[in-house]
Amino acid sequence: MSLRLRFSLLYTSLLGGVLLLFGGLVYGLVSFLLLNQIDYTLTQEAQSIIAVLKADSANQLDLNSAAQVSPTENILIQFWNTDQQLLLARPAIWQQALDADGLRSGVPVFHSIGTGDNVNLRVLSVPVTTPRGPVGVLQVGINMGLVVAVQRSLAVVLSLLTLGAMIITGLVIWLVTGRALAPISMLTRTTAEIMRADDLSRRIPTLGISNDEVGRLVVAFNNTLERLEMLFTTQSRFMADVSHELRTPLTVIKGNLSLMRRMKEVDEESLASINEEVDRLTRLVGDLLMLAQAESGRLPLQLATVELDGLLLDVVQQLQPLAGDRRLVVSEIDEVQLVGDRDRLRQVLLNLIGNAIQHSPSGSKVMLRLSRDENFSHLEVADTGPGIPADDLPHIFERFYRGERSRKRGPGTGFGLGLSIAYWIVANHGGSIDVQTHEGNGTTFTVNLPLKGPQTTG
């Protein structure tokens, strides 16, 4: 059963139940009040008749006094003596007892009598006694036709009202829930279409959607689609980038091999070139593997206490030969001990300082500074190179991203993975990397690492 139908039925029957209950109460109350009124009238009538009646010397009804009785309109009267003889009847044609049971009760009683023919009577039977003993029973009756008619109309009106209210409520709820749930149906349909067409660029239209639970669901769903689409495009671009990076060295290797085959000799130059390309491929595959692990947060870290200052001096020594006439200057160095993976952190330093060397003009200085505060170490790598254009800046930590100037392929050039790898290693250590750059005025990368090492969450 649809949610819509379920809601409509539920609320309609709930309303029906409540209205029936109230209707019943109203009906009962009205009936009770009417009957009370009638019984009161009958009591009054009986009292005024008894006041007129007299008993004779034999303690029998005095028929003269009986002749004086003049009942109010619509009221029936009978007087039965103790021998069950009818001594007085108004109207006179009514000869059978108004209430046969009432004659025998011995106390005043009210009874409702159905006589068939749609005549309903309410009868009060009052035993009449004098100090000398019982004289007989006075019965006073009234036709209840009016009361029954009122009750019947009341029942009809109440039932019709209940039914009408239920139908209207049912319709309104059907319409309202239909409107409220329409976006959900649309969501289901669009999802199905997206699955069928494999088109992640589609969105659920949000025009005219209210800011309620359903509206927020639609927005959340659209956001999910957006994220999915982004992941999907990134993924495809990644595959394209990887294929491209793999193909170039393979082409070079194949070229060299076929050259050697044609020449029928092993040529040193070709071998060196092949060797270089294989190294490049090996580096690429290693980098990719590390990135894949780091991005998914599953980079295995060999945590130990690392003396970051010692590591920095080590890396400086290692890179100095490659720096040519650029100078690596350590302008400030605190003693820093932190928990981390020494080899991965070395990789971060190599990548950042390597970039700085690569991007600074010959003869310039690359300034290195290591400091610490209570919880973090801060390592600055500042060059005086051309800086990073504002267009490139948001992307430099992306995989395979290379700035305009770095796109040419040369022996020393990277794959555009160096900063991604640095970023993810630092992230896996619970730290962060900041960049400050001014076009034409150099770039400063700052690596902030927590001294206590990566904190496992939870």
The site for Mg ion (CB under 5 A) is made up of 355, 414, 418
CB of 399 to Mg ion, least distance (A): 12
Amino acid sitting at position 425: I
Kindly write out the interface string for residues 335-354 of this chain, putting x where it contacts ligand ADP by CB under 6 A and - elsewhere.
Answer: ----------------x---
Closest listed residue to residue 56, CA positions, set 48, 47, 65 = 65
Contacts 24+ apart (CB under 8 A), 344-347: 344/299, 344/301, 344/425, 344/428, 344/429, 345/306, 345/308, 345/311, 345/425, 345/429, 345/449, 346/311, 346/314, 346/315, 347/421, 347/422, 347/425
Kindly write out the interface string for residues 415-444 of this chain, putting x where it contacts ligand ADP by CB under 6 A and - elsewhere.
Answer: xxxxx-----------------------x-
31 or 406: whose CB is closer to ligand ADP? 406
Q: Which does 344 bind (CB under 5 to 8 A by kind): Mg ion, ligand ADP, none?
A: none
Residue 446 CA, chain-centre distance (Å), reads 42
Kindly write out the interface string for residues 38-77 of this chain, putting x where it contacts ligand ADP by CB under 6 A and - elsewhere.
Answer: ----------------------------------------
> Using CB under 6 A, which of the segments 23-31, 223-231, 265-273, 388-396 binds ligand ADP?
388-396
* Alpha-carbon gap, residue 113 to 245, rounded angstroms: 106
CB of 415 to ligand ADP, least distance (A): 5
CB of 359 to Mg ion, least distance (A): 9
Q: What is the dihedral of CA 305, 435, 284, 430, to 10 degrees?
A: 30
* Alpha-carbon gap, residue 440 to 412, rounded angstroms: 23
345 or 356: whose CB is closer to ligand ADP? 356
- The answer to whether 249 contacts ligand ADP (rule: CB under 6 A) is no
- The answer to whether 414 contacts ligand ADP (rule: CB under 6 A) is yes
C-beta separation of 245 from 415 below 8 A: yes
Beta-bridge partners for 279? none
* Alpha-carbon gap, residue 16 to 128, rounded angstroms: 51
Tell me how far CA of residue 156 lies from CA of 151, 153, 277, in angstroms: 9, 5, 97
4 or 402: whose CB is closer to ligand ADP? 402
173 or 319: whose CB is closer to ligand ADP? 319
347 or 355: whose CB is closer to Mg ion? 355
Kindly write out the interface string for residues 353-382 of this chain, putting x where it contacts ligand ADP by CB under 6 A and - elsewhere.
Answer: --xx--x-----------------------
- The answer to whether 16 contacts ligand ADP (rule: CB under 6 A) is no
C-beta separation of 183 from 190 below 8 A: no
CB of 392 to ligand ADP, least distance (A): 6
- The answer to whether 383 contacts ligand ADP (rule: CB under 6 A) is yes
Tell me how far CA of residue 239 lies from CA of 187, 217, 232, 233, in angstroms: 31, 33, 11, 10
C-beta separation of 94 from 78 below 8 A: yes
The binding site for ligand ADP (CB under 6 A) comprises: 351, 355-356, 359, 383, 385, 388, 392, 396, 401-403, 406, 414-419, 443
